[in-house]
Amino acid sequence: MWKWLHPYAKPEKSYQLAGKLLPWFAVVTVVTFVVGLVWGLLFAPADYQQGDSFRIIYIHVPAAMMAMAAYSTMAIAAFIALVWQIRLAEMNIAAIAPVGAVFTFIALITGAAWGKPMWGAWWVWDARLTSELILLFVYLGIIALYNAFSDKVLAGRAASILTLVGVINLPIIHYSVVWWNTLHQGATIMKLDKPSMDPAMLWPLMIMIVGFGAFLGTLSLMRFRNEILARESHRPWVSVLVTEKLAGEK
């Protein structure tokens, strides 16, 4: 039943599939960003307490959510890489980690710029903020570890193990606002109850979450293709690809 998946364990096939998916993700990203930002910045009503400062939510929450989604994806890939020794799963980790790190950075920076007017401080050692900062360090650690080895088999294994160790941080981030008495507010969307947000504000947020998800997909696919090319650069199929591209330019 799942045999159709087998050819995609071949780097060349995976490279082509990623190339086919890439434009779709890019289109979804552009459309959702335009619609979500125009709606969120221009048409969503101002918050009754926070005024217009709440509009930071349209990048803060999607970035934070997708930073965690990216990590979850990496963790699944790490498990696959370690158990079934699939090299493409390791390349997947290396491809996603920089995107996840950037998203985490965005969540922290926008959170600081939101915290200053609302809490009166750029930074507090609150449980949510601290665990998110640790996520950034874990991401940077994975990237550094992967690049520290010139032997990419070893690099992939080391990065996979570190990725799995770092998974412990995900539930801590999610439940930090429940387990500790934090300054950061509790869950608004990611809870079993109905979202505690007006639809006029919630819709653009949902669109931006899809947008950041699609952006994550686009960049991951781009970097995944790069990773395959770099690791397979001595294979004949890459040579053919490059010569064909050269012939196309002439």
**Closer by beta carbon to other proteins, 122 or else 179:** 122
Would you count residue 238 as binding other proteins (CB under 8 A)?
A: yes
CA 135 vs. chain centroid, Å, equals: 12
Burial of 3 (0-12, 13-18, 19+ CB in 10 A): exposed
Work out whether 145 is an interface residue with other proteins (CB under 8 A): no
- Please tell me the distance from the alpha carbon of residue 240 to that of residue 196, in angstroms, as a whole number: 55
Shortest distance in whole angstroms from residue 140 CB to other proteins:
14
Stretch that binds other proteins, among 9-17, 139-147, 168-176, 220-228 (CB under 8 A): 220-228
74 binds other proteins (CB under 8 A): no
Give the C-alpha separation, 130 to 108, whole Å.
10
Interface residue with other proteins among 19, 34, 85, 116 (CB under 8 A) is: 116
Side chain identity, residue 226? N
Q: How far apart are CA 20 and CA 185, in angstroms?
A: 41
Q: Applying CB under 8 A, does 99 fall inside the site for other proteins?
A: yes
Least distance from other proteins to the Cβ atom of residue 145, Å: 19
d(CA 223, CA 217): 10
Is position 64 an interface residue for other proteins (rule: CB under 8 A)? no
Based on its alpha-carbon atoms, the radius of gyration of the chain, rounded to whole angstroms, reads 20
**Least distance from C-beta 205 to other proteins, angstroms?**
15
Pick the closest to residue 222 from 78, 27, 22, 33 (CA basis).
Answer: 22
Minimum distance, C-beta of residue 165 to other proteins, in the bound complex (Å): 25
Quick check: 242 binds other proteins (CB under 8 A)?
A: yes
Verify binding: residue 51, other proteins, rule CB under 8 A.
yes
* Contact flag: residue 83 with other proteins (CB under 8 A): no
Which residues have CB under 8 Å from 168's CB, separation 6+?
none
CA 222 – CA 60 distance, rounded (Å): 24
Examine residue 247 and tell whether it contacts other proteins (CB under 8 A).
no
Residues recorded for the chain: 250
Residues binding other proteins (CB under 8 A):
41-46, 51-53, 55-56, 59-60, 63, 98-99, 102, 105-106, 109-110, 113-114, 116-117, 215, 219, 222-223, 225-226, 229-230, 233, 238-239, 242-243, 245-246
